[in-house]
Amino acid sequence: MRKIQNDELGRLTVDDFKTAEKRPLVLILDDVRSLNNIGSTFRTADAFRCESIYLCGITATPPHREIHKTALGAEESVAWKYEKNVTDAIKKLKSDGYTIIAIEQAEGGIMLNEFQIDTTKKYALIFGHEIHGVSDAALELCDHAIEIPQSGTKHSINVSVCVGIVVWEFARK
């Protein structure tokens, strides 16, 4: 067995990525403070060819050296927008026909493995602040809340890991 070299992987160029068909999946970062989590979200969005990312509130924006460390250039390929108020981003996406889903432990929430993904719909997934989660204002506007099943002692999963798990689940279906 040998490791496959990067030039053998057949990946898209940044220009090709920008014009390629995207998965109808928008990621919303609601007051995410860690630059590493932001960069990692860009990299995951690139890997699964997500449509775009909305960076909201205190979430930092590219160009930024610390975001680039984990994004490794994905901040150049993935379309992104900054919106000061997460509720404005949600309202715009709702008006564009997206189903809005908070990734949060909430009353009436559905476990990720039980959520029925409709492949004919467009989805926007909201990931919240590392301590406080998705804001109450954002949660009020959501169509659903999804929770990742956990069985350890901690109450949550790191934001970037959470993004990877949820986006993978949407991509594989």
Q: Sketch out the chain's domains with CATH numbers.
A: 21-172 (3.40.1280.10)
Does the model's pTM come out above 0.85?
yes
The DSSP bridge pattern shows strands 98-103 and 23-30 to be unpaired
Question: Pick from 89, 127, 124, 122: which is nearest to 105 by CA?
Answer: 127
Element containing residue 83 per DSSP (H, E): strand 79-83
Q: How does pLDDT run along the chain (173 residues), one tens digit per residue? A: 999 998 899 999 999 999 999 999 999 999 999 999 999 999 999 999 999 999 999 999 999 999 999 999 999 999 999 999 999 999 999 999 999 999 999 999 999 999 999 999 999 999 999 999 999 999 999 999 999 999 999 999 999 999 999 999 999 98
Q: Residue 144, SS3?
A: strand
Task: Enter the tokens of residue 151.
Answer: 């069985």
